[in-house]
Amino acid sequence: MWCSGCGIGVMLGALLRSFEELGYEREDTVVVTGIGCTGKSDDYLITHALHTTHGRALAYATGIKAFNPRLHVVVLMGDGDSVTIGGNHFLHAARRNIDLTAIIINNFNFGMTGGQFSGTTPGGMFSQTCIYGNPERGIDICALAEVAGANYVARATPYHVWEMKTNIKEALGKKGFSVVEVYSPCPTNFGRHNNMKSTPDMLHWLRDKGLSVEEYNTRKPAEREGYFAVGKLVDRDEPDFNERYDQIRTIARKSQGRC
Ligand code: SF4
């Protein structure tokens, strides 16, 4: 159902291959989606799926995981759902380090509703509602996830599709909150307003501006302007929410003489 050249289907293909390679059963897997172009992904799935309200996908997913920690819970969101309308939930899911995998399609605008600017539209770039340039700075989703406490953070693009699958697979296997941000072509809206009307234009932009993490880190800050790192950015093993909750529950029971 997506526009020609959209990156969402590429992400979904990588996710389904990861499910298959990890041997996930449909009965044990829940995919939670928000609103927008990315939110339509669940129409293609035969796992459990929950299509939620705008910006609240992580809140629903948190409830599912808290109720049944054995389930694999994956959350698919756009940049609107994750860090614009849903920014507060994103911050707290990462801080809580709850065992969810969040895959965020960042197309730098609200694509489904006509291309309004979002919280990740880069400063100076254009959209339907900032035709003279965005005066605000775009949020760096990966940096936000890292400082808030996520155990795993990576950035991928449809140009680097095999690496994307590797990152998604690693994120699914990681305990705690894991985030894969996918910089995704939206030729219909974001591309049209930024001189990238065709799919190859958008893919070339991702190819030319995406640097390996190693190369990005060796550059001085001024030389990073306009570029972004692609690959694994954070991989740590801090206790997740359920582990810490169980520890505290044990302490509480001991203090009450119940164990
Ligand atoms: S509007 Fe943009 S994000 Fe939405 S389906 Fe079309 S290309 Fe994809």
What confidence tens digit (pLDDT) does each residue in 116-127 have?
999 999 999 999
pLDDT at res. 19? 98
pLDDT at res. 255? 93
Which helix or strand (DSSP H or E) is residue 154 part of? Answer: strand 152-156
pLDDT confidence band for 259 (50 / 70 / 90): low
For residue 22, give every residue at least 6 positions away whose Cβ sits within 8 Å of its Cβ, in sequence order, or none. Answer: 169, 172, 173
End-to-end CA distance of the chain: 55
- Looking at residue 162, its amino acid is W
Residue 225 has pLDDT above 70, yes or no: yes
Where do the structural domains in the chain lie, given as residue ranges? 8-255
* Interval 70-110: pLDDT, tens: 999 999 999 999 999 999 999 999 999 999 999 999 999 99
Query: Pick from 179, 215, 194: which is nearest to 122 by CA?
Result: 194
Ligand 1: does its nearest atom lie under 6 Å from the Cβ of 3? yes
Q: How far is the CA of 9 from the centre of ligand 1 (A)?
A: 10
Q: How far is CA 32 from CA 43, 55, 76, 131, in A?
A: 11, 12, 6, 33
Structure tokens at 104: 């965020």
Q: How far is residue 61's CA from residue 56's CA, in Å, rounded to a whole number? A: 9
Q: pLDDT averaged over the chain?
A: 96
Is domain 8-255 classified as CATH 3.40.50.970? yes
Ligand 1: does its nearest atom lie under 6 Å from the Cβ of 118? no
- What mean pLDDT do residues 164-183 have? 98
